[in-house]
Structures are given as structure tokens and as C-alpha cells.
Amino acid sequence: MGEDQQPVADAAAPPETAANAAILSFRDAPAYEGPVVALADYAANSNTAAVRVEAGEDARSLIPHLARLRLIEVAFPKYRDGRGYSSAQILREAGFTGELRAAGDVLLDQMVFLRRAGFDSFAPASPLDPAAVAEALERFPFVYQNAADGRQPVWVRRNG
Amino acid sequence: MIKLLTGNDLLTGDVLWWDGAGWSLNLADAVAVEGDALLAKVIAEERINDPALIDAELTPHGPRPRTMRERIRGTGPTVRLDLNRMPA
Amino acid sequence: MYRYDEYDQAIVDARVAEFRDQVARRLANEITEDQFKPLRLMNGLYLQLHAYMLRVAVPYGTLSGTQLHALAHIARKYDRGYGHFTTRQNIQYNWIKLAEAPDLLAELAAVEMHAIQTSGNCIRNISSDQFAGAAADELADPRPYAELLRQWSSFHPEFSFLPRKFKIAVTASDTDRAAIQLHDIGLQLVDRDGVRGFKVWVGGGMGRTPMIGHVVREFIPASQYLSYCEAILRVYNRYGRRDNIYKARIKILVHELGAEEFTRQVEAEWALLEPLALDAPAAEYARIVAQFAEPAYDAAASDQLDLADPGFALWVKQNVHPHKRPSYAIATISLKPAGGIPGDASADQMDLIADLAARYAHDEIRVTHSQNLVLAHVRKADLHALWTALDGAGLATANLDLVTDIIACPGLDYCALANARSIPVAQQIAARFADLDRQHDIGELKIKISGCINACGHHHAGHIGILGVDKKGEEAYQLLLGGSGAEDTSLAKILGPGFTEAGIVDAVEKVIDRYRSVRTGPSERFLDTYRRVGADPFKEAVYG
């Protein structure tokens, strides 16, 4: 298969995150560690404080419930599957201020994008080095576009 | 038909051919490879990109890959034969 | 043209540092090739047949003389003394070493250039009209809008892991010199009721399943085109197919949903995005437009042109286009010399062209979709001196849009994706039709050759298209007729069974001979003859 042509949804997804795998959090409060209900089961369990959204599921269906949710976990079955970035942006645009967690094939080189898209906690299938993450997040001093993280785009800095 | 082991060098991108002991830039040095063990080892080491066993026939002038693609990897671009990295 | 400010420079420099770190981690085996590959691709570095290929971005095809000199220097220092200009207005180097790529990118950054997002499943180079800023028929220079798109799309956090690549083209005239209807998003600058905005096409593309784009919006105000593009990209990112790489472009989504439903989804998404202030402030647009101000034209320059020299006259007739200012002209430099490789330029040629641009063209060079170069602002009074200098370097072939002005992808000579070689076919056709009088008699005839179904040679948009295929391990070629990438966009149709390499060249000649015998006269283009008489006369000529 050509260089440029890798399938973004492979047959073999990485293993499920172990229950005690380290969660990297950028929130002041501790990361939520209670049970997380699958979105498909949420309607029957709408008192739960934590929901998991798979890559192909519609995050917008949670918009009526955001006030009751402390954690929304978004799955990344493969880092190349970028649907979770849209889910995160949608949830932050809709006003979700709780913990927004990227889970699964979350790698160092996606951290900048993930943070900008609104994720503030991470449950990577393979552990991340916090020092390397910190360095990666500091690397770009400026950003070009608006995103969920609210960083000022360059065009605002330039023009006041 | 025999099998040759080929790939591209991670650092330079050079086309490489397994010569029995190591990697050569020269298709003429390539030797027949038996089984999959060597390929598996090379894949695991992550130092050779796109390693593959390819079909070739042995001719009096050396191994000749079956496909045009692999023959071109051996010679360099047919429209710029002056550019091949192979030693002259 | 656009010049980086401290923000642009800091971002490009940070990207170089990031990639340097990523390469170091790869070479130390801290990350696997599978993890490294998309990072490498997002910096334009492919592994091809013989070596790494680096695709350097030439935003909307515009270069300064300094930048072209730097590209020549890079060709000498890091490559084998030449570069290849592509159908998306970029430049490719074919012999790059991974270990040297970070230093190369640092040298590019020093002249405000980069290879960001020239590959990978992200938004690619924004392309535009090679005559922008000079053409008489444009509403306004489209490039400021292309520059704004470039910035907006660079490291976009939501759209860096799309189902597949994403290509946007921007024009500002009814004459389409950028094939906007064959792009994922095509934007044409228009005016409506005194408001400037864009007509928006979505879902064009070539490759395995060529499709012409659908008009999704007749008019979006220019002040909102970025948020509108956000809506399109979000719908694609969420719903584009990820199960099959051959069905992953937005054109497939548009086709499978139907244009109406797709448009409904985009409009619904845009209604939610529009209040979020995603668009650039008017001041930013004004800041960028100011950098595309007209060159300091010579008010005393003459409108007259002395065509006594027949070689010069032929070049003017074929390669020179009218400029919006009567004393100026737009000159196309052919990179399709007889016996050459389409789109290739040596380092020496690049340096010469950069010098000529500084001397005669307000220091600006354009790359075209046909793999040629353009000097867009040349005084008529300087054309003869320019032509003389170009002629001395093999850059004055008077064949623009003629049968030997062939677009050819690198093909199996270079490309790991190819099924067949394309360059030798182009060379043989060019040799067959070398006689310039014969070429001029045939007239406008755009031949486009792709070495595989990915269609980087744009064969679907060729008046004559040639597609290289693999037939039981041997190279074979299909012949297609009747495509166009201009505003009269059409997709070429396959004529019949395929050919060997020698056979395809003969077939092309038979097609052209038949065209000459059925055309209404020399002024009827091949494409128009084909559209008038259909495929049958050509089928009969080729297959008997």
C-alpha cells in the first residue's frame, strides 16, 4: 500500500485501557474515576455522571445533558481516526465545562491538537512521558485559528 | 524464481538489497533468501523501510526482478540513469 | 506577495524544531515507523522508489526570486541538482535523506518556505490562478483569500486527521485556470449586489472515481467563507468514510448522501458555527490584501511590441498572454523542452529564472498546474531580452497548451504508487510531434498522463488523457478523450482497449490525424471537435 494511503480505521484496535492506567489530567480537580457508561446505554442510565462516546457516535446527542455530566470520554481507536476532535469541539462549543477525556491510541504528537480541540484529560493506551508532553505543548508559541482552547488566534494579536 | 530481500534505508532512503551478510546498494550483489525469518527480523528492527521479499530470476548477468517496479528500483529512473546511487 | 511577520516565522520555526525532534526520536527507535509516518507525511516527506521525496509548498503557486534561488540551492545541497514542479503548484525533490531533512526545512524556513501539510490526511496546499494579480479578466486578486485559507488550515486542530487528503482551490474569474470544479472545495470570487463573496463547489476530484464538484452555495459573503469552510470540513471529518481509502474523499460523501442532503448538513452545521466568530476580522483581510498590492508599474512603458524576429514572434504568440495593463504582458516559461522531463528544472535554470524575475518581472514567479512557470508582470519592452535569455537556457519552447506541453506525473520511474512509467510516454509523444509548425497547426491540445489511478497527472482532465496500468506485470496504457479542467469541466472517457508503450504513442497520433481530417477548420480545437463529433470517428481511426 502506498505511503500516502493508510487506512484510518484498522481492523485491530489497541487494547482497552486498563482500569488503573494512568490518566494524565490538566484540570485542577482530580480526574474522574467512577464508572463510565457507553453512549448507547446512556438513555437507560441518565443519572450517570460519566459517558463514553465512540469515534463514530454523535456527541451532539449529549447536549441536553451536559450540566449533569462530570466526564465525557471520547474514544480514539486509532490515532489517525480524527473524528474525536470534532466531538470535542462540538461539546466545548455547546458549553461543556467538565472533564473531556481522550482515551485510546493517544500519542505524544497529537497532544497539541487534542488540547486545542478541548480535551483536558487523557487515558492513553501506552503511557505518555509527562515531561515530553509538557515540552510538546510549549512548542508552538502562536496559533492561527480559533479552537476550543480559547487561545487567541494570531489575527487577533496582529490587529488588536 | 528466487526471492530477494529489499527495502529502503531509514536514514537515507537508499534502495538496499540483502547480499547475504549485510545490505548492498547494488542489485547485482543480491542473494536468494529462504523463508520469512530474516524479513521478520528486519521488520522488527525498524531500521529498513518497506522491507519485502520480491521475486527475481537468476540470469548470467545477475538477479533480474520479475516486476518492472523492482527493476527500476535496481537501476534508478529510466529517464535519468545518470542518477542511480549504485556505484558505477 | 505575502511576507511573514514575526508570528508566521515563529510558527514555521517551531514546526522545524518539532520535526527535528520527531526525526531524532525515530532514528533512536523511540517511535515506530507506523507512528512516525503520518508525522513525516505532514511535513511533505514521502518514501518513493529510490529515496525520500520532499514536496515543498509553494502557496498558491507564488514565489519570490529569493525563494527560487533558495530552491536552487536546496537542489544542489540536498538533492541531485534539480527539482520537479507539480500539478498543484508545488515543487518536489526526489533524493532527500531523512537525516538531512530537518536542516533542509530550517533553510527553507529562513526564506519563509515550508513543507507543512503537503501530504497526509489534512488540508493541502491552497492552489490558485497562475495569472492572479495580472489577468485582465479577474474580479480581484484571489491570492489574499488563498493566504488566509493557508493560515487558517495550518495545524488546524480539528482537521489534521481527516479521512483523506483535502484540496482547496481559489480563483477570481470565469475563466478557470485552477480546475476548481475538480477540487474538494472550489471557490470562485464573485460579486453579488455589491457584496464580495464566493461561489462554492464541493466534491470534485480525480483519482479512482473522478467527479465534478457540486455547487453547494451560490454565494457566501467573503466575511464568512472561513466559517463556511469549517462547516464543510466538519461534516467531512465526522461522516467521510474511513473504512476504505478509495472511498474516503469528500466527493464520495457528497455522492453517497446526494448533493442536496450534503448541502443541508453543511448549512445546518454552519448555522451552529456562524455565531462563534470563527471568521477572520476585516482588519486581517485588509492587512493581507495590502501585501498583494500591484507592483510599481513603469508608467512610461510602451504598449508596442516589435515582432520582426520570427522565433520571438512565435514565442509571443504561444506563450505570452495579455496583462490587464496594456504595456505589460504575462510570460509563460515552458518546462517542456523537446527531450526533457515535463516540469523538471535544473538548479542552474532556477537561478537563471530567479535572476530574470528580479530583472524583468518585479521579482515574482508563479508555478502553474501544467508544470510550467510564469512571470506575470513583464514590460512588453523587455519581452525580447527575456526571451533571448530563456532561449539560451532551453526555457523558451513556444509550446504552451500545444501537443508537446504535456502534463506527466513522475510515474513508475520515481513513484512507489505507480503502475507504469509516464515520462517516457510524454517524451515519445513530444518527439513524434517535435515539428513546431505541425504543433501550431494542431493547435490547443492538452495531453495529461498519469502513471496510476491516483491521477496526479490529471489524466481525467486531459483533452487526451493517458492512464498507466499494470497488465499482468507489464506496463500498459489506456487512452481517454474529451476531458477539461477549465470552466467547461468534463471528465475524459476511455476510448477502447489499452495499448503498449509504443502502441499508445501511435494511437495518439491516429487520434490527432483524425481530428485534423474532421475539424471544421484549424481554429476548431481538438476538444471542441471531439465534443461535436463524439468518440466514434476516433474509435474507428484507432481501432479500425
Query: Is the same domain home to C278 and C380?
Result: no
Query: Is the same domain home to C132 and C228?
Result: yes
CATH of the domain at A45: 3.20.20.70
Q: Across all residues in chain C, what is the average pLDDT?
A: 97
Q: Residues B23-80: pLDDT tens digits?
A: 999 999 999 999 999 999 999 999 999 999 999 999 998 999 999 999 999 999 999 9
Q: Mean of the pLDDT values across residues B8-18? A: 96
- pLDDT class for A5, splitting at 50, 70, 90? low
Whether the CB of C51 is below 8 Å from some CB of chain A: the reply is no
From C26, C27, C50, residue closest to B73, measured CB to CB? C50
Q: Residues A81-137: pLDDT tens digits?
A: 999 999 999 999 999 999 999 999 999 999 999 999 999 999 999 999 999 999 999
Pairwise CB contact (< 8 Å): A147 & C280: no
Total domains, chain C: 4
3-class DSSP assignment, residue C274: helix
Query: Is the same domain home to C154 and C89?
Result: no
Query: Is the same domain home to C421 and C506?
Result: yes
Model pTM? 0.95
Total domains, chain A: 1
pLDDT of residue C439: 97
Domain carrying residue B45: 2-83
pLDDT of residue A2: 56
Query: Is the same domain home to C480 and C533?
Result: yes
From C8, C41, C277, residue closest to A3, measured CB to CB? C41
Domain carrying residue A117: 33-159
- Chains meeting B at 3+ CB pairs closer than 8 A? C
With respect to residue B20, please indicate whether it lies within any of the assigned structural domains: yes
Which of C368, C392, C416 terminates a domain? The answer is: C392
Q: Residues A24-48: pLDDT tens digits?
A: 999 999 999 999 999 999 988 888 9
CATH of the domain at C61: 3.90.480.20
- pLDDT class for A14, splitting at 50, 70, 90? very low
- Give the torsion through C-alpha atoms of A105, A106, A107, A108, to 10 deg: -170
With respect to residue A82, please indicate whether it lies within any of the assigned structural domains: yes
Query: Is the same domain home to C414 and C538?
Result: yes
With respect to residue B71, please indicate whether it lies within any of the assigned structural domains: yes
Whether the CB of A12 is below 8 Å from some CB of chain C: the reply is no
For the sheet containing C474-481, what is the strand order? C407-408, C447-450, C464-471, C474-481, C493-494
- pLDDT class for B88, splitting at 50, 70, 90? very low
Query: Is the same domain home to C74 and C210?
Result: no
Which of C324, C358, C392 terminates a domain? The answer is: C392
With respect to residue A70, please indicate whether it lies within any of the assigned structural domains: yes
- pLDDT class for A11, splitting at 50, 70, 90? very low
Q: Name the strand (E) or helix (H) holding C440.
A: helix C436-442
* Set of chain A residues whose Cβ sits within 8 Å of the Cβ of C416: 2-3
With respect to residue A28, please indicate whether it lies within any of the assigned structural domains: no
Domain carrying residue C237: 127-288
ipTM for the complex shown: 0.94
Query: Is the same domain home to C435 and C539?
Result: yes
**What is the per-residue DSSP string for C42-101?**
TTTEEE-SSSEEEEE--GGGEEEHHHHHHHHHHHHHHSSSEEEE-TTS-EEEEEE-GGGH
pLDDT of residue A16: 40
Chain centroid to CA C217: how far? 24
Nearest to C46 by CA among B86, B13, B48: B13
With respect to residue C115, please indicate whether it lies within any of the assigned structural domains: no
CATH of the domain at C258: 3.30.413.10
With respect to residue C486, please indicate whether it lies within any of the assigned structural domains: yes
With respect to residue B88, please indicate whether it lies within any of the assigned structural domains: no
Q: Quick check: A10 pLDDT over 60?
A: no
Q: Quick check: A4 pLDDT over 60?
A: no
pLDDT of residue A18: 42
Total domains, chain B: 1
Residue C258 CA to residue C31 CA, distance in Å, equals 42
Residue A72 CA to residue A63 CA, distance in Å, equals 11
With respect to residue A4, please indicate whether it lies within any of the assigned structural domains: no
Pairwise CB contact (< 8 Å): B68 & C96: no
Query: Is the same domain home to C176 and C238?
Result: yes
Query: Is the same domain home to C245 and C136?
Result: yes
CA angle A18, A23, A26 (to 5 degrees): 165
In which residue ranges of chain C is pLDDT below 70? none
Nearest to C104 by CA among C70, C72, C74: C74
Which of C341, C360, C392 terminates a domain? The answer is: C392
